[in-house]
Amino acid sequence: MATLSLRSPPSSLLYHHHNAPTCLILRSPYLNLRTRAHKPLSIKAFSAPSLTQDDLKKLAADKAVEYIRSGMILGLGTGSTAAFVVDKLGALLKSGQLKDIISIPTSKRTHDQAAALGIPLSTLDNHPKLDLAIDGADEVDPNLDLVKGRGGALLREKMVEAASDKFVVVVDDSKLVSGLGGSGLAMPVEVVQFCWKYNLIRLGELFREDSCVAKLRLGDGDKPYVTDNMNYIVDLYFEKPIRDSEAAGREISALEGVVEHGLFLNMATAVLIAGKDGVTVKNK
C-alpha cells in the first residue's frame, strides 16, 4: 500500500531559499515519485449583495406567517412590514396551504389590502377573542416593549393585539433601541379633536424635564392628520429614552382627552428581528 507523507526541505535549503515549497512524497513498493505542491490559489471572498430595508421586512414577514395555522382568527397589523405579512397570507390562502382563516384588520388601509387579496374579514364585535396577531413596530427595547402607531393606527392596533392570545412582532434590526423613545422619532398619542391644543400643551408639559417636544401630526398640506377614528395625533419627540415607560404610559392615559398612546408594554409574546445574518426570534 502506498503511504503519503508531507515534509519540508532541509533547513540548509530553507536558509538560502526562504520561499522553498513544501515537498509532497509518495512512497510505494512500485513507485517512488516526488512532486512539488502547487502554489495555493488566491481566492477572493464574495459577499452577498446587501439587503435593503424592504428585503429585511420581507424576511421577517416570511418567518411570521409560519405561526399561522388553518382555522385561526387572526389580527392583521398596519404598516409597511405588516403589509408584507398580509401579502404572504393572501398567497398562502390562494394556494390552499392555509384554510378557514378569519382576519381582523387594524386599519382601513389593512382592510382594503386584505379584501383585495380575498382574505376573509371580520371585526372584534363578532370575534372578541383572537388566536394570534401579527404586526410591526417602530421601536423595540431589550424587554420587548414597543413603540407603535407611527402609521396612525395605534388605537385599533392596541385593541386587536390586546384581544389576541399571542402577539408576534415583525421588525428589521433598525428598530432596536436601548430604551423606548430612544430613536428620536415620534411616539404618538391619539387625542380627540376637541381642544386638541390644550392636550398638546399638557403633553409637552408632562415631559418638560425630559426635553420632550410635542407636535400635532399633519396630513395633506397644513391640515391635521385624522385617524380612522376621526381623532388627531400628537407626536412626542424625546431627546433621550423614556426613563420609566410604564409610569409615562399611566400619566399620558390619565389626561382627559387622550384616547390612546403608542407605548405597547408587556404585550409582545415574540419579536422576529430580520438582519443581515437572517431572522432572530426573541420570546417573552
Give the residue from 184, 238, 170 showing the smallest Cα distance to 208: 238
| Catalytic residue positions, numbered | 157
Q: What is the mean pLDDT of each run of 10 residues along the chain (284 residues)?
A: 44 40 43 42 42 92 97 98 97 98 98 99 98 98 98 98 98 96 96 98 93 94 96 97 96 98 98 94 95
Q: What is the pTM of this model?
A: 0.81
C-alpha span between 33 and 27 (Å, rounded) = 7
Do 238 and 165 fall within a single domain?
yes
pLDDT for 49 equals 59
C-alpha span between 277 and 74 (Å, rounded) = 29
Cell of 86: 398580509
How many folded domains does the chain comprise? 2
pLDDT for 210 equals 83
Do 21 and 161 fall within a single domain?
no
Do 100 and 232 fall within a single domain?
yes
- Domain span at residue 182 reads 54-283
Amino acid at 282: K
Do 23 and 61 fall within a single domain?
no
In a domain, 41, yes or no: no
In a domain, 44, yes or no: no
Do 156 and 29 fall within a single domain?
no
In a domain, 42, yes or no: no
CATH number (domain holding residue 175): 3.40.50.1360
pLDDT for 221 equals 85
In a domain, 137, yes or no: yes
CB neighbour burial string for 205-222, b if at least 16 within 10 angstroms, e if fewer: ebbeebebebeebeeeee
